[in-house]
Amino acid sequence: MTAPGALPISDGRLALSALLILVNVVLSGLLRLGLGRSLLLAASRMVVQLLLVGTVLEWLFRQHNPLTILLLGLVMASIAGVSAVQRTRARFAGIYANSLLSVLASSALITGLAVSGIIRPQPWFAPQYLIPLLGMVLGNTLNGISLGLDRLMEGLTSRREQVEARLSLGASRWEACLEVVRDAIRVGMIPTINSMMVMGLVSLPGMMTGQILQGATPAAAVRYQIVILFMIAAATALGVVGVVLLGYLGLTSREHQLRLDRLRTRT
């Protein structure tokens, strides 16, 4: 693969860049932060994972079978669904299934709509478009889902007395949990809103930087960025609403009971 525009980085210079991690290591040593080991581990993981992904993507971009690409998308979405749960502080039966379902449905719907309706690559499954876009959508949805789930579980636990007082006075489970559910959805969606707020002022997104280095005009790169942010906002909203509603259903019963006994705090 030849990159038009961007200067290739040789192996020697790549190794040189790794020396930058010494800044972190030295600081950690001087200030006794105790981060030395995790820094080295994180840095090595980053390098290995990216080199691997580079190889995988090179192979992938030569594929012409839509099934292979969709399968890879499915694997990526599943990893996102599982990781979203792994960041939460408590668990309940079905939490993984809820997260997987929410991530898969929201990212498939939004990425599908955006790729087929807005970007329209030829062929429609062109991996150069589909895979990076899906990746960005998944990364953000994952974040929103884990925040929303965490807040839902925390909210139902800390406001248990209020929720049960409402139930005792004849509220349905929906009426009793509405405040907590709303709050959890809001918390899951806020990071996306905040990031749109400062986009371009504080942060220059990685993908835009990449496109510009590759020789795209900033004006063209910006257009991609706008589409992606709208995709992220929509997918995150759908994913968060889905996972919070499924979680609410799982932690209450058809008999309008709050079932915190189904909740297990991680030890």
**Residue numbers at the binding site for other proteins (CB under 8 A):** 161-162, 164-172, 175, 253, 255-259
Output 40 or 259, the one with its CB closest to other proteins.
259
On the CB side of 19, CA atoms within 13 Å amount to: 5
Measured from the CB atom, the residue of 37 and 254 that comes closer to other proteins is 254
Smallest distance from other proteins to CB 84, Å: 29
Please, what is the minimum distance in Å from the beta carbon of residue 171 to other proteins? Answer: 5
Between 59 and 174, whose beta carbon lies closer to other proteins? 174
Q: Is the peptide bond before 127 cis (omega within 30 degrees of 0)?
A: no
CB of 180 to other proteins, least distance (A): 13
Q: Which C-beta is closer to other proteins: that of 28 or that of 162? A: 162
Q: Which is nearer to other proteins, 11 or 255 (CB)?
A: 255
Provide the residue count of the chain. 267
